[in-house]
């Protein structure tokens, strides 16, 4: 994970056990997947902060299976045109995932790609953000996490930008 390059080798402490070769299924109900995370009416602030994870207005939040699905959905929606032979079912579970909030904006970083396509899993970590609506996949940081995530949140995650 690129946070190691930022000065931390610690685990994110999130729940779930995805590895890059695992996949996350979209909801089985037949509904169109939403990148909103969690239940359709879930409020983004309903996540519980990880004890001791907050610092000022930057807060480390608990990673859930619903979050992992929402991030995978957002990733697929953004990159599917670049990988025409791939399907949503082949998207790997976001791994090494860090999740948090600064002010009213949520951020997540982690490793993701298609399970059968090593090129799609290169680089990282990858970044997603969310304001009042759905998660958006913002792309690969190329190791420069602080170019896309506020430094104070990266610090709360146990890393640095220098």
Is 40 within a domain? no
| 33 part of a folded domain | no
Task: Report yes or no on 37 lying in a domain.
Answer: no
> Would residue 72 count as lying in a domain?
yes
* Domain assignment of residue 138, given as a range: 2-13+46-156
In a domain, 65, yes or no: yes
DSSP states of 105-125: EEEEEEE--BTTBGGGG-S--
Within-domain flag for 30: no
Peptide bond into 125 cis (omega under 30): yes
Tokens in use for 70? 């929402």
* Residue 39 is assigned to a structural domain of this protein: no
Check: CB of residue 109 under 8 Å from CB of residue 3: yes
Which of 19-33, 37-51, 75-89 ranks highest by mean pLDDT?
A: 75-89
The total number of structural domains that make up the chain: 1
Q: How high is the pLDDT of residue 57? A: 86
CA 45 to chain centre: 16
**pLDDT of 63-118, one tens digit each?**
999 999 999 999 999 999 999 999 999 999 999 999 999 988 999 999 999 999 98
Q: How far out from the chain centre does Cα 41 lie?
A: 20
The CA-based angle 83-87-88, given to 5 degrees, is 115
Domain-embedded: residue 19: no
Q: Are 110 and 98 in contact (CB under 8 A)?
A: yes
Residue 76 parent element (H or E): helix 65-79
* DSSP code at position 52: E
């Amino acid at each position: 994970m690129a946070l190691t390059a930022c000065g931390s080798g610690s685990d994110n402490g999130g729940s779930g056990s995805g590895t890059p070769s695992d996949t996350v299924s979209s909801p089985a109900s037949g509904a169109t997947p939403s990148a909103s995370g969690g239940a359709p009416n879930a409020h983004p602030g309903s996540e519980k902060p990880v004890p001791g994870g907050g610092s000022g207005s930057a807060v480390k939040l608990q990673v859930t299976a619903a979050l992992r699905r929402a991030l995978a959905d957002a990733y697929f929606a953004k990159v599917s045109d670049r990988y025409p032979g791939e399907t949503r079912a082949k998207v790997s579970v976001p791994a090494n995932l860090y999740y948090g909030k600064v002010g009213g904006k949520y951020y997540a970083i982690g490793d993701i790609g298609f399970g059968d396509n090593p090129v799609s899993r290169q680089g990282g970590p990858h970044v997603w953000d969310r304001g009042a609506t759905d998660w958006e996949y913002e792309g690969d940081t190329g190791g420069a996490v602080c170019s896309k995530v506020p430094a104070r949140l990266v610090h709360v995650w146990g890393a640095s930008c220098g």
